[in-house]
């Protein structure tokens, strides 16, 4: 476990931020969360940011200064602030949609902490997705799935079982696993330990995970295990 924690501590979503301030803020948030159980998961995923720091980043995102973020502003800011995430449009799109809990098409300050965490979360998932998507057409066909299924923790031998797994993930049975479908599967399988709020309510157990265990590097661990 200790070894796990060390590895996790090495890369945080915002590694440059001051750890002391961060942990203080996180414990404050936890107290708040205790009284409002529905907020718990969101709080955990934003544990590595402190409010003043979030506000600073928010203001950079909010290019026109109207206090809310459009998708265009998010795209622009991601290119500037998180260039390593900028190419992953499907991941950005998914994070944007999932963070917009009020469903008004904009990310306000309350939703913003989650947006940052989700950007990293979906980026990690997208990295795995891209490994499977050999021809880079942003969908996984059965041939690609057959080659890469072990990367996502599937260990079946027969072609038949593999096909039924594929169909299970390909929920609209379109013959391809799309990134959205992949994300739903990944959340279900806990492919990355850091399950954001937009997944299913069945993920409630995630709240029990201590803050230090939350991280975005689970991907690598999953892969080495396999």
Residue in the block written with tokens 């066909």: 141
Given candidates 59, 80, 137, 207, which one binds Ca ion under the rule CB under 5 A? 137
Contacting Ca ion within 54-73 (CB under 5 A): 62, 64, 66
CB 55 within 8 Å of CB 91: no
Given candidates 50, 88, 100, 170, which one binds Ca ion under the rule CB under 5 A? 100
164 binds Ca ion (CB under 5 A): no
104 binds Ca ion (CB under 5 A): yes
Cβ-based nearer residue to Ca ion, 149 or 216: 149
- The C-alpha angle 11, 200, 133, rounded to 5 degrees, equals 60
Cβ-based nearer residue to Ca ion, 58 or 215: 58
Token pair in block for residue 125 = 């998932």
Stretch of 22-30, 76-84, 137-145, 199-207 lying at the interface with Ca ion (CB under 5 A): 137-145
Least Å distance, CB 12 to Ca ion, is 25
Q: Note the residue count of the chain.
A: 226
Q: Report the half-sphere exposure of 13 (CA within 13 A, side-chain side).
A: 29
Least Å distance, CB 74 to Ca ion, is 9
Cβ-based nearer residue to Ca ion, 21 or 151: 151
Given candidates 18, 59, 135, 161, which one binds Ca ion under the rule CB under 5 A? 135
Least Å distance, CB 108 to Ca ion, is 5
Least Å distance, CB 140 to Ca ion, is 5
Least Å distance, CB 134 to Ca ion, is 6
CB 203 within 8 Å of CB 187: yes
Token pair in block for residue 51 = 């409010």
CB 47 within 8 Å of CB 214: yes
State how far the Cα of 51 lies from the Cα of 42, in Å rounded to an integer: 14
200 binds Ca ion (CB under 5 A): no
Strands (E), the chain: 139-140, 177-178
Least Å distance, CB 66 to Ca ion, is 4
**What is the full DSSP assignment across 3-25?**
HHHHHHHH--TTTTS-HHHHHHH
Please count the residues of this chain forming the interface with Ca ion, following the rule CB under 5 A: 10
Helix (H) or strand (E) holding 212: none
- Residue numbers at the binding site for Ca ion (CB under 5 A): 62, 64, 66, 100, 102, 104, 106, 133, 135, 137
């Amino acid at each position: 476990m200790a070894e796990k924690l060390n590895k996790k501590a090495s890369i945080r979503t915002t590694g440059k931020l001051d750890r002391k301030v961060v942990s203080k803020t996180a414990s404050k948030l936890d107290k708040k969360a205790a009284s409002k159980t529905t907020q718990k998961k969101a709080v955990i995923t934003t544990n590595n940011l402190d409010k003043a720091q979030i506000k600073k980043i928010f203001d950079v995102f909010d290019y026109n200064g109207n206090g809310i973020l459009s998708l265009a502003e998010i795209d622009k800011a991601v290119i500037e602030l998180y260039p390593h995430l900028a190419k992953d449009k499907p991941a950005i799109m998914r994070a944007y949609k999932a963070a917009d809990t009020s469903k008004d098409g904009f990310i306000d300050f309350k939703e913003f902490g989650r947006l940052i965490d989700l950007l990293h979360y979906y980026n990690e998932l997208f990295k795995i997705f891209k490994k499977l998507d050999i021809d880079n057409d942003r969908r996984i066909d059965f041939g690609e799935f057959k080659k890469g299924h072990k990367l996502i923790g599937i260990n079946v031998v027969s072609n038949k079982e593999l096909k039924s797994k594929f169909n299970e993930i390909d929920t609209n049975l379109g013959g391809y696993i799309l990134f959205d479908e992949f994300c739903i599967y990944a959340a279900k399988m806990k492919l990355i330990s850091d399950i954001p709020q937009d997944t299913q309510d069945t993920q409630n157990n995630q709240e029990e995970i201590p803050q230090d265990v939350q991280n975005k590097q689970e991907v690598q661990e999953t892969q080495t295990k396999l």
